[in-house]
Each structure stands twice: as structure tokens, then as C-alpha cells.
């Protein structure tokens, strides 16, 4: 207990001097029960001085009565008396409740529900209350049916493309993945199915998109470049990474036998952060898309929604996993975008340690979770560069501009390969990322075609059959990626 007293207040810990002014600490108990549990310790001052409680037996009875009279549904915490420095403290331990949402009776069901956000209590809105209720019922938002829709409202072509050489796309397959679910004896798209592959996704979920921005400096006062990504979620991963690479620097390490590309940002780690954000976002919220902000000194990835009840940031780092969106997560797993359940955040921190990079931070904010990746090398972007439309360039420019005539060489297969190729990858890694199993088909239509067109190159060109052979994007390949993307962005909308 003495060690606990010196800890900082947070999601699961709070101190109070005494039982006076009951409303604030009653809100804390409600928030603990609705969020991740916690301990409320009476008899400790703001400076962590142990003050003790006078007449502890009487105060314990008063505490019990106030909780019973003020909180609904009934909350029965564990209340203990403990002695520190010869003084008695009251310790109230609350566990995550299976009867949530709890609320303050005098404020009512709609206004009296609170959740824990850091060391503060936040009043829950209707969306948060609904999520608390779904959690108790064991129902996830993305599994719910959309009875007004049919299979015709899904982009079957995109599904077929993603699952090429993996599965036959038919109704049983879509039902197995819960892209289609039963409602009134009919098969209809689920929320997750529409979020993944809906033809009119923004009509049904107007914030189910990704906002990417490159800012000048270390705040959001000046923006240099931005893009709104509305592609199906599995394809959005590649588009987000393309945007990040567009504004990164790429150099080369010639110290070893093979040339090695060096990016100014941790590409593979950021890809894991992005995937984690897309899979765990709360798409039931309104007004909060997934946001990626690229600053000179850091990259922030924000996803809407707080941590699920019972979860803390510390739990995430340890690999404790709760899946908010099982439909989306299952599809990402089938497409090998997720390797193992619960490996995302621990894997990110492990890679950061192995590569000796600055530690990322995870924060619960007002209605979202933010992961911040500090950059080991500052990438200053000046206003003069912004006016000229310049991007960072090094010995090998990451994203130079190109003339349109190079673009027609790219087949759809080559374009797909360019989008999944991150750093140096061997053949099996590329095939896995593409979802291909036929080596001959890959060799003829992807690998050889891409090498012949000069958009990728071998890392060991003198030994093309080496078991250590890997492939990387060339300067020309990066030019084509950027040209394709810019052409897509500049294409006028249909009237």
C-alpha cells in the first residue's frame, strides 16, 4: 500500500482526502465500474501525505450507504481498512462490472453515466452508453445487420480481388466471414461488411474514411499536403503507407555486401500502427475519422473510440487483446494483414527496441486513442518548400515527380506489387502480401514483368537465383506510384 500511495493517479487509481463532497468520488466509482475497475483511497492528501480517516468504522458505514443510495444498478465494491504510518485509510476497490452501464441516480440513465479517461471522469454520451451495453451483451457493432441492404450493396469485385487465390467468393464464404449475416431469415450485409466493402460506405458511415496530412513544423498551424482515403479498408493500408513514403526520405547503406534502403521513418512499424488503428477504430462514432498526421518530428495515428472496457494502455503493451471489430479483424487476418491476435502493440514496441528507435506513446484522449511515433531524425519542412511544392529528397529521391508517359507501362499486377512492396522483401513475403500461391503466375505476371519494366530491382543482381534474393522498388517504380496516385487525386469528379 505504501508503494501505491506514491503512484500517479490514472485510469485505475485515485486518492481523496476524505468523504466530504460525495458527488466527485461517486462519479469516480461509477467510472471505474464502467471502464476497467480501479481503487479509490480515502485519507491521502493531494501531496500524497497520509492524513488518515477519523472514525473509520463510522465513515465506512457512511460510504456504504452513499454508494447504495446513489448508484444504480447496485454496485457492491470491496471496502477495506488499512494502516499506513499508524493512520487508517479506507480503500474502495471496484471491478469492471457485468451490469454496466452504472449511473448516478440523481442524474438519470442518460446523463449520469461516466467513464474513466486517464485520471479524470468523463460523462458518457449516447454512443458510449450503447457501446457499454453492447459489451455486456457480447455484441460487437460491426457484427450487427443492416436489414435495408443486400449483397448488391457490396463491392464484390473488390472482395474477389482481395481474396484471389485464397477463397472462392460466394454467399457461404461471405457468411462465414460475417460480411453477410442473417436478419429475419435473409442474408444482409453486416456493419463490418459495409465498412470493409460497401459501395456507398460514406452514405451509411459518413466518417468511415482516413484523413492524412503532412504539416510544416511540429503543430497543425500549416499544412503542406493532405489526402482523404475512401478505399475499402484492406486497400486503404497501402494508400496510407504510400502517403507516408511520399513524404519520407530514402537513402542507401553500402556498408555491407548488398545495398540496403534506409527510410527516414520506420515503415514496417508504422504499417503495424496503421493496421491496428483501422482494426480497432470505433466506427459507431460520428465526426471522427481515422487521422494520420505527419510532423517534422513525429507521426501521430489517431483512431476514434476509447479503449474497450477492462482495457488499459499497460494491458495493450503486455499483449492483452480485446477485439472491437471481429468482422474487420477476421478479414484482415485472412488477408495476412494481421499475423497473430494480440501481437500488434507488443510487436511494435519490440521492433522499436530492436531497432533502437525512440519509444512510441499511447494516449486515451477525449474520444480517441492516439499512437505517437517520434522520429529519430527530424525532417524539417520549410514554408519556402511548401510554396514551391518541394518534398524531401536524398541520394535516392523517395517521391520525385514524373512525366505521364512512364505510367502506361504499369499493368494492374505490377501496380499491386508496388503497393505491397515495403523495403526489401523476398519472393515468399511478396506473394503472401499479394495473397498469391501460384509461383508460376507470380513469376510471369508480377516478378518478371516488374523487373523488365524497371520498377523493381534485385538486391543481389549478380546471383538472381540466390536463396537470399530480395526485391525493392526502384526510383522509377516510386515515380510511377506517385504519378498514379496524383492522377487519381486530380481526376475530376463526375457531375
Q: What is the pLDDT of residue 347?
A: 85
For the domain bounded by 2-137, which CATH number is listed? 3.30.950.30
pLDDT tens-digit profile, the chain (495 residues): 777 888 989 999 999 999 999 999 999 999 999 999 999 999 999 888 999 999 999 999 999 999 999 999 999 999 999 999 999 999 999 999 999 999 999 999 999 999 999 899 999 999 899 999 998 998 999 999 999 999 999 999 999 999 988 889 999 999 999 999 999 999 999 999 999 999 988 889 988 889 999 999 999 988 888 899 988 899 899 899 989 988 886 655 555 555 555 667 888 899 999 999 999 999 988 878 999 999 999 999 999 998 888 888 888 888 887 899 999 999 999 998 987 665 678 888 888 988 888 999 999 987 899 999 998 777 676 555 544 445 544 434 343 333 333 333 578 888 888 888 877 889 988 998 888 888 888 888 899 888 888 889 998 888 888 888 999 888 888 878 777 665 554 555 444
Q: Which residue carries 497543425 as its cell?
A: 220
Task: Please list, in sequence order, all residues whose beta carbon lies within 8 angstroms of the beta carbon of residue 164, skipping any fewer than 6 positions away.
Answer: 435, 436
Alpha helices in 207-264 (DSSP H): 233-246
Where are the extended beta strands (E) located within 95-190? 103-104, 114-117, 120-123, 180-183, 186-189
CATH code for the part of the protein at 208-397 = 3.30.565.60
Mode of pairing for the β-strands spanning 71-72 and 103-104: antiparallel
CA distances from 169 to 150, 163, 431 (A): 16, 7, 20
- φ, ψ at 479 (rounded to 5°): -60, -40
User: Does pTM surpass 0.75?
Assistant: no
Residue 251 has a pLDDT of 56
Q: Could you tell me where the beta strands, DSSP code E, fall in 38-128?
A: 38-42, 71-72, 78-84, 87-94, 103-104, 114-117, 120-123
For residue 166, the model assigns a pLDDT of: 87
Give CA–CA dist 244/32, Å, rounded.
38
pLDDT value at residue 342: 56
Residue 159 · residue 169 · CB < 8 Å: yes
In the chain, domain spans:
2-137, 141-204, 208-397, 400-489
The CATH class for the domain spanning 400-489 reads mainly alpha
Amino acid at each position: 500500500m505504501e508503494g501505491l500511495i506514491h503512484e500517479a493517479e490514472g485510469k485505475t487509481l485515485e486518492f481523496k482526502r476524505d468523504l466530504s463532497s460525495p458527488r466527485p468520488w461517486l462519479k469516480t466509482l461509477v467510472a471505474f465500474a464502467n471502464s476497467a475497475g480501479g481503487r479509490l483511497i480515502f485519507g491521502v492528501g493531494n501531496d500524497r501525505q497520509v492524513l488518515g480517516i477519523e472514525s473509520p468504522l463510522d465513515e465506512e458505514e457512511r460510504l456504504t450507504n452513499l454508494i447504495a443510495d446513489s448508484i444504480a444498478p447496485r454496485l457492491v465494491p470491496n471496502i477495506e481498512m488499512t494502516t499506513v504510518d499508524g493512520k487508517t485509510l479506507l480503500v474502495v476497490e471496484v471491478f469492471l462490472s457485468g451490469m454496466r452501464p452504472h449511473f448516478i441516480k440523481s442524474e438519470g440513465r442518460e446523463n449520469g453515466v461516466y467513464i474513466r479517461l486517464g485520471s479524470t471522469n468523463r460523462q458518457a454520451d449516447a454512443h458510449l452508453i450503447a457501446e457499454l451495453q453492447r459489451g455486456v451483451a457480447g455484441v460487437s457493432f460491426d457484427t450487427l445487420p443492416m436489414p435495408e441492404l443486400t449483397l448488391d450493396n457490396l463491392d464484390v469485385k473488390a472482395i474477389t480481388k482481395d481474396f484471389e487465390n485464397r477463397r472462392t467468393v460466394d454467399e457461404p464464404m461471405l457468411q462465414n466471414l460475417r460480411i453477410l449475416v442473417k436478419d429475419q431469415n435473409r442474408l444482409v450485409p453486416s456493419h463490418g461488411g459495409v465498412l470493409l466493402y460497401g459501395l456507398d460506405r460514406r452514405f451509411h458511415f459518413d466518417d468511415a474514411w482516413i484523413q492524412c496530412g503532412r504539416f510544416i513544423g511540429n503543430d497543425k498551424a500549416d499544412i503542406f499536403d493532405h489526402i482523404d482515403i475512401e478505399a475499402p479498408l484492406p486497400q486503404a493500408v497501402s494508400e496510407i503507407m504510400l502517403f507516408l513514403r511520399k513524404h519520407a526520405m530514402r537513402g542507401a547503406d553500402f556498408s555491407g555486401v548488398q545495398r540496403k534502403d534506409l527510410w527516414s521513418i520506420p515503415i514496417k512499424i508504422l504499417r503495424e500502427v496503421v493496421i491496428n488503428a483501422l482494426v480497432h477504430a470505433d466506427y459507431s462514432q460520428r465526426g471522427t475519422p481515422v487521422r494520420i498526421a505527419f510532423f517534422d518530428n513525429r507521426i501521430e495515428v489517431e483512431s476514434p473510440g476509447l479503449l474497450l472496457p477492462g482495457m488499459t494502455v499497460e494491458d495493450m503493451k503486455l499483449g492483452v487483446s480485446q477485439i472491437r471489430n471481429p468482422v474487420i479483424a477476421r478479414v484482415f487476418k485472412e488477408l495476412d494483414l494481421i499475423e497473430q491476435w494480440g501481437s500488434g502493440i507488443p510487436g511494435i514496441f519490440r521492433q522499436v527496441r530492436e531497432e533502437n528507435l525512440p519509444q512510441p506513446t499511447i494516449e486515451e484522449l477525449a474520444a480517441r486513442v492516439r499512437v505517437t511515433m517520434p522520429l529519430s531524425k527530424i525532417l524539417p519542412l520549410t514554408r519556402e518548400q511548401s510554396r514551391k511544392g518541394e518534398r524531401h529528397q536524398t541520394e535516392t529521391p523517395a517521391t520525385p515527380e514524373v512525366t505521364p508517359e512512364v505510367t502506361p507501362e504499369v499493368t494492374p499486377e505490377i501496380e499491386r506489387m508496388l503497393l505491397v512492396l515495403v523495403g526489401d522483401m523476398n519472393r515468399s513475403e511478396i506473394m503472401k502480401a499479394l495473397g498469391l500461391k501460384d509461383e508460376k503466375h507470380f513469376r510471369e505476371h508480377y516478378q518478371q514483368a516488374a523487373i523488365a519494366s524497371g520498377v523493381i530491382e534485385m538486391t543481389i543482381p549478380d546471383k538472381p537465383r540466390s536463396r537470399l534474393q530480395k526485391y525493392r522498388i526502384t526510383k522509377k517504380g516510386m515515380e510511377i506510384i506517385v504519378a498514379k496516385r496524383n492522377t487519381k487525386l486530380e481526376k475530376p469528379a463526375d457531375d
